[in-house]
């Protein structure tokens, strides 16, 4: 009869499974909620715990002791007491990870004072508790996540000598397969990845915290977890504030789901104290401290969701675990398909068993400077990992290995009375949850994918994509006008010793304004006709656009027919100067990727930004500048054109640009689209990879043009033969492949076949991730790794001489010369930017 009723239960839960699947809600296949030592069922927050006296579970115990305190039906008011080895056997219908939760709340029953009980609990494979006691009379819930690979889970309670064991309630519940996986593998804090499979790993949740939010109880969590507020863990509460924006959270398919953590977790965060953070120079960490058992490794799952930024790429921060850098320059907006406020989880494993009993987690601003430094975390789970003996707790207790348990007489079989009532309750819960989910699902889709980063002093400007953005009128040109006297002051009357470069437009000086701001001052040659047009374009463009990856115009001066442009000073000059010809140290592959990503962001912003898309028209390595942190910024907008309006597909214009970078289609058809910039950027990618001039007439004919030469090797699948020698052995093949494919696509003959700048950006980010999968953040590349492109003897790639692209006799076709735009060679390592563009004819 018990069996029949149990089947009814299965049937009903199957029906509710079906109902729930159609709404995408996870329904656990196994869902045992057991009220131990009780004669009756008990409901806790809408969840029905079935009496273990009445349930279908197999309980083996030498003596039946049902302890109860009072007549009420709370699960904690009853307990089962074990005076000898006893076990519960749960049959598992779906193998895989399960929550195992053990509820303890000691009370006195007859001669059993439960706060003196001492015992161990184990599964067939792992020791969960060993010589465990609950000294205080407080309620304790232990949560484990076990991967069950057998048809049963047997939980064995073993009293320590002269003691007894007890338990108030037990849960055994399936969890989604995708919740904890080894792909991608968790990172090791410090460097590398955790190589072991997580599948045989037993985990014990020691802390689960909802940063910046309130308690999320089991009934409000998608997987019946409990999340605590973080305030008690914060070391200095005054340094942190909390933010709540539940509706902003985007669950993007392929990333964190509502099962990973509910909206109530992703929709709240703790950030750097906003009052302090209004200070652009504020630099401090927000730190939490968690008590843990020493002697174990820990699995840390961080939950992130950038609910504080109004646009992409506004927030960069560092994450530390135990004073070690865990990730640098986290830019959440790029992690989830360039979605603002995308839910994302990041897993770590501590590198070795903990020596201390504390884990410290800190967040702080990164060196990538933003208008207002900030850093956030939305949630954190800290889970203890079993040691090499399979134990989550060390004591005198030795794992039974299952054998003693199996031989025991499984005498006491208690019939199931899980009635239709439970089924109805489940159905009801399910229905309510489904409705709730449906309502909350992806509320803010409309603007989540738009790319509108644009900010002046922390106030978002004209960011048309995001609702609720402050709109502010664009600074008018007049605000940028700087008196000639001030410019003279700044450059010590154009002192020749401050000259850092010369172009056809005029000279470039390093200067310092009254307030100490270091600037680059370009002084135009008043006789230049071309100069005047470019001067105007540059002011017009740069005063409209402000972006982290576009060089900023500080001001201009047009007094006495002067044409002077004043920019932020870019300490590290052009990208080109770091690639070849200057004798500067070579950049690492990671640095190069980051530079390309930065430049791609700047261009992507130009192409898609604000009201009118802009085509740069002169993308080249000499127009990408580096600040003191080697952050890339796109410069030189003198040739920029406002792109096609919606009803047009191109802009007809005389061909301009720099030889070697020029889009052949633009050249053929004289029609300009943003895909012309993509082509030029493709050439830059190969320049960065091969570290040679894009045109080098001193080389054998087939090698003169880098784009052609690189494509030839790429098509043969042997691009690694011609890459910069200093990169050899330090690039992961995957990363190189992705990078090269991206470059190849940019160089497609027809614009329509080329990717957008946004796609390029995404692919470069991916190439960086592929690189970092082996070489950790900031760490040294693993030498001798077989994963790296091996050292190859080569003469092919020796391009260390000076830049020879100024003159291109014979090879130029219709281009007699590319003017003097490539002056950033040997003598000009600090060239700020060139004024002169090459003119195609």
Q: Is 362 in the site for ligand NAG (CB under 6 A)?
A: yes
Q: To which residue do tokens 């005047």 refer?
A: 532
Q: Is 192 in the site for ligand NAG (CB under 6 A)?
A: no
State which residue, 219 or 525, has the beta carbon closest to ligand NAG.
219
Of 326-334, 385-393, 617-625, 782-790, the window that binds ligand NAG (rule: CB under 6 A) is 385-393
User: For 250, phi and psi rounded to 5 degrees?
Assistant: -110, 120
Of 61-69, 333-341, 384-392, 517-525, the window that binds ligand NAG (rule: CB under 6 A) is 384-392
Helix H or strand E segment including 651: strand 651-652
Of 231-239, 283-291, 746-754, 827-835, the window that binds ligand NAG (rule: CB under 6 A) is 283-291
Q: Is 297 in the site for ligand NAG (CB under 6 A)?
A: yes
Which member of 159, 342, 364, 609 binds ligand NAG (CB under 6 A)?
Answer: 364
Task: Give the C-alpha separation, 589 to 576, whole Å.
Answer: 15
State which residue, 379 or 660, has the beta carbon closest to ligand NAG.
379
Structure tokens at 444: 């803010």
Of 277-285, 401-409, 520-528, 830-838, the window that binds ligand NAG (rule: CB under 6 A) is 277-285
Residues 6+ apart with CB under 8 A from 760: 600, 604, 678, 681, 742, 745, 746
Structure tokens at 354: 């903990």
Other Cβ atoms less than 10 A from the Cβ of 162: the count is 6
Q: What is the CA radius of gyration of the chain?
A: 33
Show the site string, 99-128: x = touches ligand NAG by CB under 6 A, - = not.
Answer: --------------------------x---
State the nearest-atom distance from the C-beta of 512 to ligand NAG, in Å: 27
Is the bond preceding 443 in cis, omega lying within 30 degrees of 0?
A: no
Q: Is 677 within 8 Å of 604 (Cβ atoms)?
A: no
Of 60-68, 196-204, 400-408, 746-754, the window that binds ligand NAG (rule: CB under 6 A) is 196-204
State the nearest-atom distance from the C-beta of 191 to ligand NAG, in Å: 15
Residues 6+ apart with CB under 8 A from 620: 576, 658, 660, 661, 680, 683, 684, 694, 821
With H, G, I as helix, E, B as strand and everything else as coil, classify residue 376.
Answer: strand
- The counts of H helices and E strands in the chain are 16, 42
Helix H or strand E segment including 511: strand 506-512
State the nearest-atom distance from the C-beta of 391 to ligand NAG, in Å: 8
Of 71-79, 387-395, 458-466, 728-736, the window that binds ligand NAG (rule: CB under 6 A) is 387-395
Structure tokens at 249: 């959270």
State which residue, 156 or 623, has the beta carbon closest to ligand NAG.
156
Q: Is 283 in the site for ligand NAG (CB under 6 A)?
A: yes
State which residue, 81 or 305, has the beta carbon closest to ligand NAG.
305
The sign of the torsion formed by the CA atoms of 771, 774, 779, 782 equals negative
Task: Give the C-alpha separation, 681 to 575, whole Å.
Answer: 13
Task: Give the C-alpha separation, 257 to 745, whole Å.
Answer: 33
With H, G, I as helix, E, B as strand and everything else as coil, classify residue 786.
Answer: coil
Which member of 119, 320, 567, 589 binds ligand NAG (CB under 6 A)?
Answer: 320
Residues belonging to the chain: 841
618 tagged catalytic: yes
State which residue, 60 or 210, has the beta carbon closest to ligand NAG.
210
State the nearest-atom distance from the C-beta of 194 to ligand NAG, in Å: 9
The conformation of residue 250, written as its DSSP 8-state character, comes to B
State the nearest-atom distance from the C-beta of 459 to ligand NAG, in Å: 25
The conformation of residue 350, written as its DSSP 8-state character, comes to -
Q: Distances from the Cα of 551 to the Cαs of 287, 471, 743, in angstroms?
A: 34, 23, 24
Task: Give the C-alpha separation, 7 to 5, whole Å.
Answer: 5
CA within 13 Å, CB half, 590: 16
Secondary structure of 65-104 in HEC code, one letter for each residue: EEEECCCCCCHHHEEEEECCCEEEEEECCCCEEEEEEEEE
Which member of 110, 161, 323, 611 binds ligand NAG (CB under 6 A)?
Answer: 323
Q: Is 797 in the site for ligand NAG (CB under 6 A)?
A: no
Of 278-286, 407-415, 568-576, 641-649, the window that binds ligand NAG (rule: CB under 6 A) is 278-286
State the nearest-atom distance from the C-beta of 46 to ligand NAG, in Å: 7
Task: Give the C-alpha separation, 769 to 562, whole Å.
Answer: 47
State which residue, 6 or 284, has the beta carbon closest to ligand NAG.
284
Task: Give the C-alpha separation, 595 to 593, whole Å.
Answer: 5
Task: Give the C-alpha separation, 33 to 88, whole Å.
Answer: 12
State which residue, 31 or 386, has the beta carbon closest to ligand NAG.
386
State the nearest-atom distance from the C-beta of 318 to ligand NAG, in Å: 7
Which member of 223, 239, 346, 385 binds ligand NAG (CB under 6 A)?
Answer: 385
Count of residues of this chain found to bind ligand NAG when the rule CB under 6 A is applied: 20
136 known ligand binder: no
Of 156-164, 383-391, 549-557, 637-645, the window that binds ligand NAG (rule: CB under 6 A) is 383-391
State which residue, 241 or 367, has the beta carbon closest to ligand NAG.
367
Q: Find the binding residues for ligand NAG in span 765-794 (CB under 6 A).
A: none
Other Cβ atoms less than 10 A from the Cβ of 439: the count is 8
Which member of 257, 264, 621, 714 binds ligand NAG (CB under 6 A)?
Answer: 264
State which residue, 219 or 670, has the beta carbon closest to ligand NAG.
219
State the nearest-atom distance from the C-beta of 215 to ligand NAG, in Å: 8
Q: Is 200 in the site for ligand NAG (CB under 6 A)?
A: yes
State the nearest-atom distance from the C-beta of 400 to ligand NAG, in Å: 14
Catalytic residue among 221, 230, 618, 776: 618
Q: Is 387 in the site for ligand NAG (CB under 6 A)?
A: yes
Q: Find the binding residues for ligand NAG in span 19-78 (CB under 6 A).
A: none
Structure tokens at 231: 């305030």
Q: Is 266 within 8 Å of 443 (Cβ atoms)?
A: no
Secondary structure of 377-438 in HEC code, one letter for each residue: ECEEEEEEECCCCCECCCCCCCCCCCHHHHHCCCCCECCCCCCHHHHHHHHHHHHHHHHHHH
Q: Is 195 in the site for ligand NAG (CB under 6 A)?
A: no
The conformation of residue 509, written as its DSSP 8-state character, comes to E
With H, G, I as helix, E, B as strand and everything else as coil, classify residue 285.
Answer: coil
With H, G, I as helix, E, B as strand and everything else as coil, classify residue 18.
Answer: helix
Q: Is 86 in the site for ligand NAG (CB under 6 A)?
A: no
Which member of 55, 78, 201, 805 binds ligand NAG (CB under 6 A)?
Answer: 201
Task: Give the C-alpha separation, 356 to 700, whole Å.
Answer: 64
State the nearest-atom distance from the C-beta of 515 to ligand NAG, in Å: 25
Q: Find the binding residues for ligand NAG in span 206-245 (CB under 6 A).
A: 219-220
State which residue, 283 or 470, has the beta carbon closest to ligand NAG.
283
State the nearest-atom distance from the C-beta of 567 to ligand NAG, in Å: 29
State which residue, 315 or 683, has the beta carbon closest to ligand NAG.
315
List the binding residues.
522
Residues flagged as binding site for ATP: 522
The set of catalytic residues is 618
Q: Which residues bind to ligand NAG, rule: CB under 6 A?
A: 125, 196, 200-201, 219-220, 264, 283-285, 297, 320, 323, 362, 364, 385-388, 390
């Amino acid at each position: 009869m018990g069996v029949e009723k149990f089947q009814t239960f299965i049937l009903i839960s199957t029906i509710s499974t079906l109902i729930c699947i159609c709404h995408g809600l996870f329904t656990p296949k196994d869902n045992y909620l057991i009220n131990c030592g009780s004669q009756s069922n008990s409901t806790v927050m809408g969840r029905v715990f079935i009496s273990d006296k009445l349930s279908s579970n197999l309980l083996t115990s030498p003596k039946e002791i049902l302890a109860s305190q009072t007549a009420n039906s709370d699960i904690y008011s009853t307990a089962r007491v074990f005076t000898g080895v006893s076990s519960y056997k749960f049959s598992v219908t779906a193998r895989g990870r399960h929550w195992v939760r053990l509820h303890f709340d000691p009370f006195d029953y007859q001669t059993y004072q439960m706060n003196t009980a001492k015992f161990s609990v184990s599964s067939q494979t792992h020791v969960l508790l060993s010589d465990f006691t609950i000294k205080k009379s407080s309620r304790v819930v232990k949560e484990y996540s076990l991967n069950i690979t057998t048809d049963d889970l047997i939980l064995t309670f073993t009293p320590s000598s002269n003691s007894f064991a007890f338990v108030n309630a037990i849960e055994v519940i399936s969890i989604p397969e995708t919740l904890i996986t080894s792909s991608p593998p968790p990172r090791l804090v410090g460097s590398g990845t955790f190589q072991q499979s997580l599948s045989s790993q037993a985990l014990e949740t020691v802390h689960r915290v909802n940063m910046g939010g309130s308690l999320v109880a089991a009934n409000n969590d998608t997987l019946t977890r409990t999340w605590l507020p973080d305030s008690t863990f914060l070391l200095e509460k005054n340094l942190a504030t909390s933010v709540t924006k539940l509706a902003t959270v985007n669950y993007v398919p392929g990333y964190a789901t509502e099962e990973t953590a509910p909206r109530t977790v992703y929709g709240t965060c703790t950030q750097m104290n906003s009052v302090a953070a209004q200070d652009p120079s504020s630099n401090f960490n927000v730190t939490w401290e968690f008590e843990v058992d020493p002697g174990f490794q820990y699995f840390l799952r961080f939950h992130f969701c950038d609910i504080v930024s109004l646009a992409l790429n506004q927030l960069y921060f560092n994450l530390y675990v135990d004073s070690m850098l865990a990730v640098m320059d986290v830019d959440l907006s790029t992690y989830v398909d360039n979605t603002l406020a995308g839910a994302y989880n990041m897993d770590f494993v501590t590198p070795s068993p903990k020596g201390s009993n504390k884990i410290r987690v800190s967040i702080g601003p990164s060196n990538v400077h933003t208008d207002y430094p900030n850093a956030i975390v939305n949630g954190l789970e800290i889970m203890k990992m079993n040691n090499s003996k399979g134990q989550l707790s060390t004591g005198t207790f030795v794992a039974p290995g299952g054998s003693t348990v199996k031989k025991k007489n499984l005498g006491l079989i208690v019939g199931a009375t899980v009635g239709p009532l439970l089924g109805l309750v489940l159905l009801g819960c399910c229905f309510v949850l489904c409705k709730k989910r449906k309502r909350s699902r992806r509320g803010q889709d409309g603007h989540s994918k738009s790319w509108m980063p644009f900010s002046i002093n922390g106030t978002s400007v004209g960011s048309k994509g995001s609702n609720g953005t402050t709109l502010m009128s664009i600074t008018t040109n007049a605000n940028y006008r700087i008196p000639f006297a001030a410019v003279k002051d700044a450059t010590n009357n154009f002192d020749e010793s401050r000259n850092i470069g010369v172009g056809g437009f005029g000279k470039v000086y390093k200067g310092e304004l009254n307030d100490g701001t270091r600037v680059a001052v370009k002084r135009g040659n008043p006789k230049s006709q071309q100069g005047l047009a470019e001067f105007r374009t540059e002011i017009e463009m740069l005063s409209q656009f402000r972006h982290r990856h576009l060089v900023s115009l500080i001001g201009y001066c047009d007094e006495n027919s002067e044409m002077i442009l004043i920019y932020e000073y870019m300490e590290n000059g052009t990208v080109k100067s770091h690639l070849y010809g200057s004798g500067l140290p070579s950049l690492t592959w990671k640095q190069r990727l980051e530079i390309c990503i930065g430049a791609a962001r700047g261009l992507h912003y130009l192409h898609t930004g604000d009201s009118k898309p802009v085509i740069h028209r002169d993308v080249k390595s000499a127009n990408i500048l580096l600040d003191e942190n080697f952050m890339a910024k796109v410069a030189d907008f003198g040739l920029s054109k406002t792109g096609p309006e919606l009803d047009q597909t191109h802009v007809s214009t005389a061909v301009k640009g720099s030889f070697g970078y020029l889009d052949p289609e633009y050249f053929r058809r004289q029609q300009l689209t943003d895909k012309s910039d993509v082509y030029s950027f493709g050439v830059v990618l190969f320049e960065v990879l091969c570290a040679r001039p894009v045109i080098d007439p001193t080389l054998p004919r087939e090698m003169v043009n880098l784009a052609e030469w690189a494509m030839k090797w790429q098509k043969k699948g042997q691009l690694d033969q011609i890459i910069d020698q200093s990169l050899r052995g330090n690039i992961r093949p995957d990363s190189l492949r992705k990078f090269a494919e991206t470059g190849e696509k940019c160089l497609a003959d027809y614009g329509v076949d080329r990717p957008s700048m946004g796609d390029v950006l995404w692919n470069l980010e991916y190439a960086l991730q592929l690189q970092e999968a082996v070489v950790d953040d900031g760490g040294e590349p693993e030498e001798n790794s077989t994963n790296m492109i091996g050292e190859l003897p080569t003469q092919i790639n020796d391009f260390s001489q000076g830049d020879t692209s100024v003159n291109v006799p014979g090879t130029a076709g219709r281009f007699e010369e590319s003017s003097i735009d490539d002056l950033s060679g040997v003598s000009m390592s600090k060239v700020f930017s060139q004024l002169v563009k090459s003119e195609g004819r």
